[in-house]
Every structure is written in structure tokens, then in C-alpha cells.
Amino acid sequence: MSLSVVILAAGQGTRMRSALPKVLHKLADKPLVEHVIDSARQLGADDIHVIYGHGGDAVPTTLAHCKVDWVKQDEQLGTGHAVAQAIPHIPMDRQVLGLYGDVPLTSIDTLKNLILLAQKSGFGLLTIALEDASGYGRIVRDESGKVVRIVEHKDASDTERMINEVNTGILAASRENLAKWLEQLDNKNSQGEYYLTDIIAMAVSEGISISTTSPADSHEVLGVNNKRQLAELERAYQLQQANRLMDAGVTLRDPARFDLRGSVICGKDVIIDVNVIIQGENQVGNDVEIGPNCLIINSKIDDGVKILANSVIENAVIGKNSRVGPFARLRPEAQLSEETHIGNFVEVKKSRIGKGSKVNHLSYVGDSIVGSNVNIGAGTITCNYDGANKHLTEIGDNVFVGSDTQFIAPVKIGEGATIAAGSTITKEVDAGALALSRVKQISKSGWKRPQKKKTD
């Protein structure tokens, strides 16, 4: 049977104390509800319906790249009312899986298992036993252990409140049955809401037995209602990812101080020191070492590269056996060939640096093409911007650039040229030439420094 997924995401999330709708708060740099949408995709859902409401169009607008069916619930009249909004959009003969947009970490295995159970028995319900079950809907079972209904905390008797098996809210049933039961819901309860949970008793009265299953880990069914829970799930998620990387052979000096906000493919013998954040999509080769406190975004790092402490690397490519940092900044379109050295307080933007070239100290290289075996001395600046346009600096192979040089772009330096320290280069330099632009030094012997005026 084909699968439709309904994701409830219309709530406000008052306890987040934020102007942002709850489901747009981010876990690992991705909105909560997008994690849920991604899970639905991984399950192979044929269609995904996201019920939104609070925050107006902020949710569908922010997530326009997620190709899902956005269904607006104008008033939040309860979870049953929310699912009912999706029914007209769901094709006939579907199995329906109901998820919450603020429960981001349910594993695919758990959900697959639930769907299988629903196919067999007609109703699958994900439950979990909690030490502190207050606030949750309780699973009421008869003497033989069969589920008979769910009672919401606010409607529960004192004895029912002693039950510690709770409803996670995640369930699966056929579209046909759901549609029928949702039509019969009323809101005669303590909260005046249309409870989705009331359909369980309806199913039971029709002779359907409710199959339940529980997740392997309680984080899978925890929802985010406040910033503390958001932080708790972030750490749980990060630990999962750290474990996955370590299982694949990556050395993490401290898995508790590592954050992956996106994806990374790592080769063999990669060592990552503490407080490294990896964002977006990244590739890391074999024998790479990443020092402490580095931020790496959408980058490709080849074999044998060493990134030293406190470096920030974004949309960059780093060739084999290069060394970057400490305190280096590679900005978008920095492309380093093999065996390059980019040292401390060096910024490289939209530039190609050839094999074996070195920019070791306090420099800015932007909009440049630098050949191989070039040595760029400390304090070199490519003056690429004239206030209106960006211009190119081209530096040939084997050029030696003395310290404190400014290249006023556009400018071209021929192969093997030497630029004397302290030069301001405004014109093309021929291959093999020495370029020097310094004021001649003068010395005045016996110089008397000015004296401070006396004040009384």
C-alpha cells in the first residue's frame, strides 16, 4: 500500500518565547519540521502533507524548497481537527502515518516497524513508558493488556494518571478508516478540542486491535516545547552523529564537543579536535587533521591536509598535504592546490593558489590567481576593490613577494619576478624582473626628538 504522511505543525509553541513558529526553530541548523519531512522522504512517502497555521505563511515560505503539500489549519482546534484538514488531500487506498513537526528525531526503523504493524492489525500506535508521564495522554489497557483508549492528562482520573505508558502522538492507519473516525470526533472534553486520540476507542469498538511499539531510545519521541528541550535534543542528535563518524573510523577527541550541522564524508584516519563545527555539505579525505575551534562550511579537504586551530573555512577547496592556520580564513571560492601553506591571520577569497605556494602571515589575497611555488611575505595585500569594482591580481610561478607589499589590481606579475618588501605595485612586472617602489631612505644624524611642553 502506498504511504501518505501527515505532519502536524500548526501550533504556536508559546513556551519557546519566540516570534518564530516553533517548528522553524533549528536543530543542527535545520528547522525541526524539516527533519520530520526528511524522515518522511526516507520512508518513501508518496505524498507529504504539512499542517501549518501559527505564524501565517512563515512556515511554507521558509521551507519553500521542501516539495510538500502545505495545508493551512486556520484555527488550532485540536490534533484531530488538524489531521482532518489533510484528509481531502490524501489519495484513496493509502496507509497514513501521522507525525509531529516538533518531534524531530524518530528513527526510520521505528517508523517502518509502526507502518508494518498498522498494515497487519489496522492500527499502529507508538507509545513509550515514562517515569514522569504528566502532561501526556495515557494508554489505557484492559485486563488482557489490549489498548482500549487514550485519555488525555487533563481528562484523566487519579488512577489513570498513575499509568506511565504514554501516547507519543505518532500513529498509522488507513486513510479510509481515519477519514471515517475523524468525522465522528467531537470536542466535549476539558480542553474543548478535537482530540486525535479519541479515534483509538472508535477503532477498538469496531473490533480493530491497536498494535503498539516503542522506540529504542526515548529521544526519538521527545518533542520540543521549550529551549531546554531543544538543547537536549541537539546534544542527543550530535552524539548520534559523532557515534556514526567514530564507527566509520573518525577520531573525535571529544564527541561531546563536536557539531555536525549538515553532512560530511570522511576518509580514513581523520582526526578532529575539540569544538569543531562542520556545516553544510563537506568532503574530507584520508589522513586529515582538524585542529581545535575550527568552523568548516561546504568545503572539500583533500588527503593529508592539516587545518590548525581557530580557522574558518567556507566554500573552499584545499588540495593534498596543504596546511592551513592557525587563525586562517578561507572565504568562498578559495582554491588551494597541493602542498600550499596558508598561515595565521591570512584571508583568502575567490583566489586560486598554485602548488607549493605559501602565504604564511597577515595577508589578504582576494580575486587572485597565484601560480606555483610563490612565496608571499607577511602583510601582503591585494587591493582588489576600487570602491566600485573588483579587479584581478595575477602572480606567476616562482614569484617572491617581499613583506608589506600592496598589489593595486588589476595587475600582473610575470614568472620568477621579485617584489621588494614594502612596495606598492601598480604596473605589470615582467618575468624575472625586480620591482621596487620605496621612498629612498634618508638618515639625519644627531636627531633631537621634540620635547614635551612644560605645563604648570
CB of 225 to Ca ion, least distance (A): 6
Can residue 337 be called a binding residue for ligand UD1 (CB under 6 A)?
no
Can residue 197 be called a binding residue for ligand UD1 (CB under 6 A)?
yes
Q: Considering only 90-98, 165-173, 268-276, 408-416, which stretch makes contact with ligand UD1 by CB under 6 A?
A: 165-173
374 within 8 A of 398, measured Cβ to Cβ: yes
Would you say 53 or 354 has its CB closer to ligand UD1?
53
What's the sign of the alpha-carbon dihedral 159, 165, 171, 174?
negative
Among 70, 123, 181, 195, binds ligand UD1 (CB under 6 A): 195
Candidates 307, 300, 289; CA nearest to 265 is 300
Can residue 51 be called a binding residue for ligand UD1 (CB under 6 A)?
yes
DSSP code for 81: H
361 within 8 A of 378, measured Cβ to Cβ: yes
Would you say 147 or 166 has its CB closer to ligand UD1?
166
DSSP string, 386-437: -SS-B--EEE-TT-EE-SS-EEESSEEE-TT-EE-TT-EE-S-B-TT-EE--
CB of 33 to ligand UD1, least distance (A): 9
Tell which positions 218-247 bind ligand UD1, by CB under 6 A: 223
Can residue 84 be called a binding residue for ligand UD1 (CB under 6 A)?
no
DSSP string, 175-189: HHHHHHHHHT----S
Among 34, 152, 339, 347, binds ligand UD1 (CB under 6 A): 152
Would you say 13 or 291 has its CB closer to ligand UD1?
13
Among 166, 328, 425, 435, binds ligand UD1 (CB under 6 A): 166
Can residue 82 be called a binding residue for ligand UD1 (CB under 6 A)?
yes
Would you say 223 or 343 has its CB closer to ligand UD1?
223
Can residue 70 be called a binding residue for ligand UD1 (CB under 6 A)?
no
Q: Which does 10 bind (CB under 5 to 8 A by kind): ligand UD1, Ca ion, none?
A: ligand UD1
Angle separating helix axes 79-86 and 175-183, nearest 10 degrees:
130
CB of 346 to ligand UD1, least distance (A): 47
Can residue 196 be called a binding residue for ligand UD1 (CB under 6 A)?
yes
Q: How far is CA 39 from CA 13, 45, 83, 198, in A?
A: 22, 9, 18, 26
Active site residue 89: no
Q: What angle do CA 39, 166, 14 make, to 5 degrees?
A: 70
167 within 8 A of 150, measured Cβ to Cβ: yes
Would you say 102 or 234 has its CB closer to Ca ion?
102
Among 36, 48, 90, 150, binds ligand UD1 (CB under 6 A): 150
Tell which positions 210-229 bind Ca ion, by CB under 5 A: 223
245 within 8 A of 263, measured Cβ to Cβ: no
**Gap between the Cα atoms of 72 and 75, Å rounded:** 9
Among 3, 5, 8, 318, binds ligand UD1 (CB under 6 A): 8
Can residue 181 be called a binding residue for ligand UD1 (CB under 6 A)?
no
Q: How many CB atoms lie within 10 A of CB 350?
A: 17
Tell which positions 334-373 bind Ca ion, by CB under 5 A: none
Among 24, 34, 71, 73, binds ligand UD1 (CB under 6 A): 73
DSSP 3-state percent helix, strand, coil across the chain (nearest 5): 20, 35, 45
Conformational region of residue 204, where left means phi above 0, alpha means psi within -120 to 50, and beta covers everything else: alpha
335 within 8 A of 313, measured Cβ to Cβ: no
Active site residue: 54, 153, 361, 391, which one? 361
Would you say 38 or 303 has its CB closer to ligand UD1?
38
Would you say 13 or 319 has its CB closer to Ca ion?
13
Q: How far is CA 34 from CA 31, 106, 168, in A?
A: 5, 13, 19
Q: Which positions touch Ca ion (CB under 5 A)?
A: 223
Q: Which positions touch ligand UD1 (CB under 6 A)?
A: 8-11, 51, 73, 76-79, 81-82, 100-102, 136-137, 150, 152, 166-169, 195-197, 223
Catalytic residues: 361
